[in-house]
Amino acid sequence: MRLYSRAQVLLIILVVLVSGFTLAYLVGFFRTPETETPGGETSAAPPEEYLLQTDSPAERMIPVSSGDYAPGNDEALNIAVYRNTNEAVVNITTETLAFNWFLEPVPSEGGSGSGSIIDVRGYILTNDHVVRDAYRVYVTLYDGAQYPGEVIGKDRENDLAVVKFDPGEKALHTISLGTSSLLQVGQKVLAIGNPFGYDRTLTVGVISGMGRPVRTQDNLIINDMIQTDASINPGNSGGPLLNTRGEMIGINTMIYSPSGGSVGIGFAVPVDTARRVVPELIDHGMVIRGWIDIEPVQLDANIVRHARLPVSAGLLVSRVTPGGRAEKGGIRGGNLQSPVRYGRNTFYLGGDIITAINDRRVASLSDLFSVLQNSRPGDKAQVRLVRTGSLGGRAQELTLEVELAERPEGSGF
């Protein structure tokens, strides 16, 4: 029997220990790693596709569930909304009438924009400025098919219009109308349109603000506009602003841009406004609104100085409609025996000066249209005015309740 020295025994023990530690290490190395759950239990590590893919090694080890926030879900949502709605977005082009050297009317290329099919019978919702002054309207569908269209209703004050075309036997895709009453700043939105002629382009952003009053090129104010940073460019006008369910929540209308291109400040007319006016545009071709049946004159410094008026801003009542509701409500017009010519206009001094309606300041004609924008004939309006009685006479402040008449067609800007 062979005997080992003490040194040899110690060496054998050392070799066995090292081998054991090595084996344990290798077993642990090939074993599936475990992560700790919030409850303290352990579970297998998530698959690689559920790990955050970032530049930070530490963040790459954070597990992500396969639910709403899984990588790729946002892309899938964008794709789904686009697939479900883009074929309902049309390209609208127009021709206008111009005059040649012989003063003969000739067709001329107009503008272009976007629109949304909202009814399978061929009704399209777009912006008024897209089809304004159009002599001919053409509607191009997603598959390139082009149809002649007709503008059947316009609402300049909300910059909305309805175009109708005859699809024949063609089945049309439509966009559902959502609601804009519950929108929140930060909510994701998607815009589809035809910027610079690139048909059915998708851009994505968020709602940046709500309830924005925006002044148009016609010097009208559209209230309650939706502000978004989703890229909107020329050609997007009239196209839909969508929520993540693919419902239209706004109609893309205008941008704020010193350069003319998108800088992340775009505006859309709320879809609730469209819900209110579209039926009237289809039935009547216009929106029936309330009106104070007077001939108003917007004050400026020259009129105020000449007439020695006690106020610097407001609407001078030149005339009231004889027997009309404004006259019955007590509003007085000017002295018809003393007409004043100012530029190309003739009006009468001495009438009441309207300064507010329903506690909203009225300093200009655009203010008057804005205040009465959502009113109806028969509504009652509280009209605050200043009455002078005579040239330079003593001023008297009054508040009268006036029943609104129907606004005459063509009384807008």
Four-residue CA torsion sign, 111, 114, 120, 123: negative
Assess contact for 409 and 156: CB atoms under 8 A: no
Assess contact for 161 and 153: CB atoms under 8 A: yes
Choose, from 116, 237, 262, 318, the residue flagged as catalytic: 237
Assess contact for 331 and 294: CB atoms under 8 A: yes
- Comparing C-alpha atoms, which of 360, 345, 347, 348 is closest to residue 314? 360
Choose, from 128, 129, 155, 364, the residue flagged as catalytic: 129
Four-residue CA torsion sign, 307, 309, 313, 314: negative
Dump strand ranges (E) for 10-140.
34-36, 42-44, 89-99, 105-119, 123-126, 136-140
Choose, from 159, 199, 293, 352, the residue flagged as catalytic: 159
Assess contact for 296 and 275: CB atoms under 8 A: no
Residue 401, class by beta-carbon neighbours within 10 Å (0-12 exposed, 13-18 middle, 19+ buried)? exposed
Longest dimension (CA), the chain: 146
CB atoms < 10 A from the CB of 142, how many?
15
| DSSP annotation string for 270-327 | EHHHHHHHHHHHHHHSS---EE--EEEEE--HHHHHHHT-S-SSSEEEEEE-TTSHHH
- Cα–Cα dist 170/203, whole Å: 28
Is 159 considered catalytic here?
A: yes
CA angle, 375 then 381 then 383, to 5°: 130
- Cα–Cα dist 207/410, whole Å: 35
- Cα–Cα dist 361/384, whole Å: 9
Four-residue CA torsion sign, 52, 57, 59, 64: positive
241: enclosing H helix or E strand = strand 240-242
- Cα–Cα dist 231/265, whole Å: 8
- Terminal CA-CA length for the chain: 120
Active-site residues, by number, are 129, 159, 237
